[in-house]
Amino acid sequence: MAFHDSAIIGFAETKIVEKSDRDVCALGAEILSSLIKSTGVEKGAIDGMILSSSMSSAGSVFWSQLMADALGLGLNFCQTVDIGGCSPVAALARATMAIDSGLCENVLCLYADTQASADNRPSKPFRVEWTSALGYLGPPAGFGLLTQRYEHQFGLDYRALGKLAVAQRAHAVLNDNACEKLRKAITVEDYLNSRMIANPIRLLDCVMVCDGASGLLVTSRKNAERKGFTKVVIPLGYGERTNHRINEAVVDVTDTGHRVAGEAAFRRAGLKPSDMGSFHPYDDFIIAMMLQMEMLGFCKQGQGCDFIRDNDFSHTGNLPLNTGGGQISAGQAGLAGGGTNLIEGVRQLMGEGGKRQVANRKTALVTGIGGIPYGRNWTTSSVMILSSDA
């Protein structure tokens, strides 16, 4: 058995909003209802569920059981994936493993969070005592340090980064599910002139925390064929790396776990970067996308700005980038945010991209980033290659 023996038969997504008036379980119920309606799979046939972690339910050690109870699901396999922004992509990988091992037949991958309205994370003493007290106030500061280091090592063209911001925002304008506040076109000058948050990180480098949910329904390819599904998406290859270069005293923060995870995913899929029809990288900050382009082999390390200048990232371009707007321009639904990029990749491969449909529907590359530790690159990196023509 292998990854290509499983099939995604349905996807669903709520509107991303600045602040929801609905409970996270209610959003999960909307996703479940939508998947049942679109696929015709009965609720009782869903016997597995894998959740991404959730800021709004971070205080519950029974998160997956709580959601299963709220949705009225009787399950043979149930799990919460807790590797931050990597969790949605990693949940899909774990769903294929559960199906391949015979633990369950139809798996709901559910990504729901209401961080904007109910951030229930417990405080961490280390941050309170050692980083926050000195002005290191979360991800913008971490990416500010990372960006300064990259610029010192390789140089950095901020207009090139602005090109990525503009491309994603143009896609959000075409996405009805994107947060309305963000559905306004921007220019490179808008990006460069946006206010400084943590030098050199600007406002338009950053995600805006929002509320929302998304999900997938996964089964075996044999079952999908038996049930007559003609639109399916196949997970072809996956790679995951936690604590990249952890045993080195001094780490190059510009070298991330996506290098290792990407090599594994491409090897398992039997493909290479140039085979990708669209690219949906995790985008909590603009520079994160450029770093992933380097780590995944689209270009060499230090040559990201040249690569950006030389390529077209619009939905009609040669490398369509986060065609739903990504998290930066569609809104980040807390720790469910990585699902936004994953769902968009699936939507494109199923040919349901509408006004932003890409031409090459054969393959899509989706990634995750989980955790931003002090003085190191991100904690977990994940890479998933999907296909509609396996």
Q: For residue range 115-158, what is the model confidence (pLDDT) as tens digits?
A: 999 888 777 666 666 676 667 778 899 999 999 999 999 999 99
User: What's the confidence (pLDDT) of residue 127?
Assistant: 67
The answer to whether residue 135 sits within a structural domain is no
The model's pTM is 0.96
Residue with tokens 């070298």: 255
Q: How many domains does the chain have?
A: 1
The answer to whether residue 172 sits within a structural domain is no
Residue with tokens 């990597």: 86
The answer to whether residue 321 sits within a structural domain is yes
The answer to whether residue 151 sits within a structural domain is no
* CATH code for position 368: 3.40.47.10
The answer to whether residue 148 sits within a structural domain is no
CA distance 260 to 183: 35
Q: What is the 3-state secondary structure (H, E, C) of 130-151?
A: HHHHHCCCCHHHHHHHHHHHHH
User: What's the confidence (pLDDT) of residue 128?
Assistant: 67
The answer to whether residue 146 sits within a structural domain is no
**AA identity, residue 108:** L
User: What's the confidence (pLDDT) of residue 60?
Assistant: 84
How many CA atoms lie less than 13 Å away from 258 in the CB half-sphere? 31
User: What's the confidence (pLDDT) of residue 1?
Assistant: 41
User: What's the confidence (pLDDT) of residue 250?
Assistant: 84
Range of the domain at 282: 3-118+207-387
Give strand pairing partners of 10: 217
CA distance 322 to 328: 10
The number of beta carbons lying within 10 Å of the beta carbon of residue 245 is 17
382 within 8 A of 239, measured Cβ to Cβ: yes
User: What's the confidence (pLDDT) of residue 372?
Assistant: 87
Taking 70 as the pLDDT cut, the residues of the chain under it are: 1-2, 124-130, 132-134, 389-390
CA distance 337 to 210: 9
The answer to whether residue 150 sits within a structural domain is no
Residue among 338, 83, 132 nearest 216 (CA): 338
State the burial class of residue 145 (Cβ atoms within 10 Å of its Cβ: 0-12, 13-18, 19+).
middle
The answer to whether residue 322 sits within a structural domain is yes
